[in-house]
């Protein structure tokens, strides 16, 4: 979940306990020899685990290299049993040497299971996708909470815990504009559908709208209006590395009737004359852009909100919360209607609309559910993952990109069928949790069509060629 102000790690990331504190808990302070011996034993255990971890990484790279020799193709997600068995057979000698596994019956059984797994994997390869990392957008100094793409322009935006938001050229990989107007972590970012405006929500309890007219020329332009207040970066860098800096918003949403805690998400309603914000104060607020005044508070959730999303064409909004529910708000009538949906067992982390009037929700309960807007009594599809799900995205053709805590990105269709798992090794992919993904607009004029960001400070641009049956 996004956080406030200057925290340098995600809420979900937990600091490992020190071995010294464990020793202090179980031994008196005056037993120095015993404590020294215990420290030594713990150090040996730590070294052994480190060695096993490095060996596992090396073996994984070898397996990835073997797969790459068969073509730069990433098939649909392999079964965990198949991956474990291939790894066990490839490292049989080293594992026997370490753990003394010598049972011949187990080896015969493993060969049978390997044969069965090979047939399953062969069936997956017929429906494969070609994908690769095309761009790496580097520059943020802390984790990146959200990435968004702009319709009609080859740019993306990122919101970061380093208190800044950035606009990037998709193909150049260059930061074209940096917004520094917030006083806390920037937790969300959304482009206006037709104008050069960006909406951001922050840990400082405010939402800002700011001008996103980027300078495509390398030299910095002069003579902007006071609201744009574009400046050259003060660092003595070459002209090609100069970054325009913006510090003043066009609109700020705060004050009486506003939020009293962190804003975790904000989105434009169709037309762009109103926005919705969601906060840790357990409420969402509908705002008027022109007057900058709150129109209506949306209350009812029992815990902090985690996400908010507006429908692309209808005046509908979904809000998600840590109370394991999400709510559908209908503003098409003068008196808004609200519906509560309780399909998850843990915090709902994101909810998004699809082109064909479905809602896709992701949760910390390790599931993604697809709902029909017209009949949301029960989910149409349940997708089970092996880790908590963060801010997901649905492509225009209907492919769900799922970013879990375990650093892998998985693709599913709206029927719950696996399409692919994006490649991740020690040399490519994210090294920490993936916090958000975003599909490029339909028929993009760029080399990338999927973007991901995470708490390794990286923003990656992916080129993915999906099978026709998935598009």
The candidate with the shortest Cα–Cα distance to 326, out of 294, 290, 367, is: 367
DSSP annotation string for 230-244: EE--SS---GGG--E
CA 251 to chain centre: 27
Q: Which residue has the higher pLDDT, 397 or 15?
A: 397
Q: What is the pLDDT of residue 45?
A: 86
Q: What is the pLDDT of residue 96?
A: 38
Q: What is the pLDDT of residue 85?
A: 42
Confidence of residue 164 (pLDDT cuts 50, 70, 90): very high
Containing H/E element for 55?
helix 32-69
Which ranges constitute the DSSP H helices of 70-130? 80-90, 92-99, 104-125
The two tokens of residue 468 are 């026709």
Q: What is the pLDDT of residue 444?
A: 63
Global model pTM greater than 0.85 = no
Q: CA-to-CA distance for 346 and 71, rounded, in angstroms?
A: 40
CA 206 to chain centre: 22
Q: Which residue has the higher pLDDT, 383 or 239?
A: 383
Residue 411 has pLDDT above 50, yes or no: yes
Q: CA-to-CA distance for 71 and 68, rounded, in angstroms?
A: 5
φ/ψ of 274, rounded to 5, equals -140, 155
Residue 112 has pLDDT above 60, yes or no: no
Confidence of residue 157 (pLDDT cuts 50, 70, 90): very high
What letter does residue 78 receive in the DSSP assignment? Answer: P
Residue 455 has pLDDT above 60, yes or no: yes
Confidence of residue 51 (pLDDT cuts 50, 70, 90): confident
Which CA distances in Å does 327 have to 154, 359, 360, 423? 33, 11, 12, 34
Bridge partners for 197 per DSSP:
211
The two tokens of residue 42 are 């713990």
Q: What is the pLDDT of residue 47?
A: 78
Q: What is the pLDDT of residue 185?
A: 96
Q: CA-to-CA distance for 325 and 15, rounded, in angstroms?
A: 29
Average pLDDT over every residue of 280-300: 95
Q: CA-to-CA distance for 459 and 144, rounded, in angstroms?
A: 8
Q: Supply the mean pLDDT for the chain.
A: 79
Within 10 angstroms of residue 313's Cβ, the number of other Cβ atoms is 12
Q: What percent of the chain has pLDDT over 70?
A: 72
The two tokens of residue 456 are 């390794």
Angle, CA 329 vertex, CA 326 and CA 331 arms, to 5°: 165
Q: Which residue has the higher pLDDT, 8 or 147?
A: 147
Q: Which residues contact 191 (CB under 8 A, 6 or more apart)?
A: 148, 149, 150, 151, 157, 197, 198, 199, 212
- Per the rule left: phi > 0, alpha: psi between -120 and 50, beta: everything else, 387 is beta
CA 155 to chain centre: 18
Q: CA-to-CA distance for 92 and 100, rounded, in angstroms?
A: 10
The two tokens of residue 138 are 């580097």
Confidence of residue 176 (pLDDT cuts 50, 70, 90): very high
Residue 20 has pLDDT above 80, yes or no: no
Residue 241 has pLDDT above 80, yes or no: no
Q: CA-to-CA distance for 9 and 221, rounded, in angstroms?
A: 36
Residue 122 has pLDDT above 90, yes or no: no
Between the ranges 119-123, 157-161, 369-373, where is the mean pLDDT highest?
157-161
The candidate with the shortest Cα–Cα distance to 251, out of 302, 281, 288, is: 288
Q: Where are the domains of the chain?
A: 130-213+241-465
Sign of the C-alpha dihedral computed for residues 421, 426, 428 and 434 taken in this order: positive
Residue 254 has pLDDT above 60, yes or no: yes
Average pLDDT over every residue of 230-237: 45
Residue 471 has pLDDT above 60, yes or no: no
Q: Which residues contact 260 (CB under 8 A, 6 or more apart)?
A: 205, 279, 281
3 state DSSP class of 248: coil
Q: CA-to-CA distance for 274 and 287, rounded, in angstroms?
A: 6
Which CA distances in Å does 19 have to 12, 22, 44, 124? 21, 5, 12, 44
Q: What is the pLDDT of residue 32?
A: 72
Q: CA-to-CA distance for 20 and 11, rounded, in angstroms?
A: 24
Condensed to tens digits (0 to 9), the pLDDT of residues 317-350 reads: 999 999 999 999 999 888 888 999 888 999 999 9
130-213+241-465 classified as CATH 1.10.1060.10: no
Bridge partners for 108 per DSSP:
none
DSSP annotation string for 395-445: -TTSEEEE-BTTS--EEEETTS-EEEE----SSSS-SS-EEEEEEPPSS-S
Contact 443, 459 (CB under 8 A): no
Which ranges constitute the DSSP H helices of 192-254? none
């Amino acid at each position: 979940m996004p956080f406030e102000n200057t925290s340098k790690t995600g809420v979900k990331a937990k600091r490992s306990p020190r071995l010294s504190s464990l020793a202090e808990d179980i031994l008196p302070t005056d037993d120095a020899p015993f404590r020294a011996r215990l420290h030594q034993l713990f150090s040996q255990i730590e070294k052994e685990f480190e060695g096993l971890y490095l060996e596992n990484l090396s073996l994984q790279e070898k397996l990835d290299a073997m797969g790459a020799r068969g073509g730069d193709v990433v098939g649909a997600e392999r079964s965990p049993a198949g991956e474990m068995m291939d790894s066990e057979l490839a490292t049989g000698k080293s594992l026997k040497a370490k753990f003394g596994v010598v049972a011949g019956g187990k080896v015969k059984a493993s060969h049978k299971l390997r044969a069965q797994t090979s047939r399953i994997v062969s069936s997956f390869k017929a429906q494969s996708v070609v994908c690769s990392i095309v761009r790496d957008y580097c520059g943020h100094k802390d984790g990146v909470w959200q990435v968004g793409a702009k319709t009609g322009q080859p740019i993306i935006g990122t919101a970061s815990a380093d208190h800044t938001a950035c606009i990037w050229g998709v193909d150049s990989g260059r930061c074209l504009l940096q917004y520094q107007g917030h006083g806390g972590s920037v937790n969300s970012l959304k482009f206006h559908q037709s104008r050069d405006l960006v909406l951001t929500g922050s840990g400082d309890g405010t939402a800002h709208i700011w001008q996103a007219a980027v300078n495509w020329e390398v030299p910095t332009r002069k003579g902007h209006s006071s609201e744009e207040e574009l400046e050259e970066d003060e660092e003595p860098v070459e002209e090609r590395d100069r970054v325009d800096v913006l510090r003043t918003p066009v609109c700020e949403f705060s004050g009486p009737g506003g939020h009293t805690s962190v804003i975790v998400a904000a989105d434009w309603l169709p037309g762009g004359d109103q926005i919705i914000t969601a906060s840790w104060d357990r409420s969402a607020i509908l705002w008027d852009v022109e007057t900058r005044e709150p129109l209506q508070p949306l209350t009812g959730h029992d815990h902090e909100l985690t996400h908010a999303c507006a429908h692309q064409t209808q005046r509908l909004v979904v809000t998600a919360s840590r109370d394991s529910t999400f709510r559908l708000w209908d503003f098409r009538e003068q008196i808004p209607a609200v519906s509560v949906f309780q399909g998850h067992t843990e915090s709902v982390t994101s909810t998004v609309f699809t082109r064909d009037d479905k809602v896709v929700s992701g949760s910390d309960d390790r599931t993604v559910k697809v709902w029909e807007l017209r009949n949301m009594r029960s989910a149409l599809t349940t997708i089970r993952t092996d880790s908590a799900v963060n801010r997901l995205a649905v492509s225009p053709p209907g492919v769900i990109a799922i970013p879990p805590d375990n650093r892998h990105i998985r693709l599913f269709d709206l029927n719950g069928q696996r399409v692919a798992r994006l490649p991740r090794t020690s040399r490519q992919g994210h090294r920490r949790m993936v916090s958000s993904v975003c599909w490029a607009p339909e028929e993009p004029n760029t080399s990338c069509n999927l973007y991901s960001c995470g708490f390794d400070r990286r923003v990656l641009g992916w080129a993915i060629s999906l099978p026709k049956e998935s598009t």
